[in-house]
Amino acid sequence: MVKFTHRRKPHYKKCMYVGVSIFCCLIVLFLYKTIVHNQEMKQVSQQTAKNISVAYNKDRIKNVIKTDNKTRSDVERLSWKDFISFQGSKEEMNIASNSVGIIEIPSIALSLPVIEGTNNSNLKVGATTFREYQSLTDGNYVLLGHNMGQSGVLFSDVPKLKKGDKIYIYQKTDKGQKKITYSVKSIEEVNKNQTTVLENTDIRKLTLITCSTERTTSKRIIVTANPI
């Protein structure tokens, strides 16, 4: 005698409810992350504006602690979490107040303090000089900055520069701000071991250096500009 086994019907409704619930959770998580990111970007924008305001101020803020201007070889990759946690800190404002000038690039809406000396803290605030006591009046003026992969943050938009774009450096002097204008001559990607771009030269020029991507990489974007 043949026996027939009864098969349970799949619970389509239950599966559908679970699927919809998971989908809704993913949507909520996405919206939450978007809101948090937008708030962080607003915070960065506001803090950068404050840093620029401080850097433009000819008179140094009282009780400012002189920062370590020496370029260090142990510069670490900056995470977004560490960058955000640094925003608005006393150390950040102190570094901005010690700036030696401002760099502005209208084509990519960049405006940052120029900080003397490359180290982990200075790179969280703006563009940093490679050599201590670099001069804008002669030689190769090298500035470094982090590519955070976020438009409008530090040197993230530098790879978008094009030949002929204008770069303005406002240098602090006893009489106020001295403006020097540069025009982008070349943009190239090189290996990080190609250190010749850092060397001083007899010819006046400006060199901007950043990573090619926000991730750990051995490639660097080198922007060279001539004074005009």
A 10 A CB-CB count for 204 gives: 16
Q: Which of the following is catalytic: 6, 15, 25, 211?
A: 211
The rounded distance, in Å, linking the Cα atoms of 181 and 192 is 27
Distance between CA atoms of 60 and 75, rounded to whole angstroms? 27
Q: Active site includes 25?
A: no
24 is catalytic: no
- Give the C-alpha separation, 208 to 159, whole Å: 10
Calculate the CA dihedral of residues 103, 107, 109, 115 and round it to 10 degrees.
Answer: -20
> How far apart are the two ends of the chain, measured CA to CA in Å?
100
Catalytic residues: 146, 211
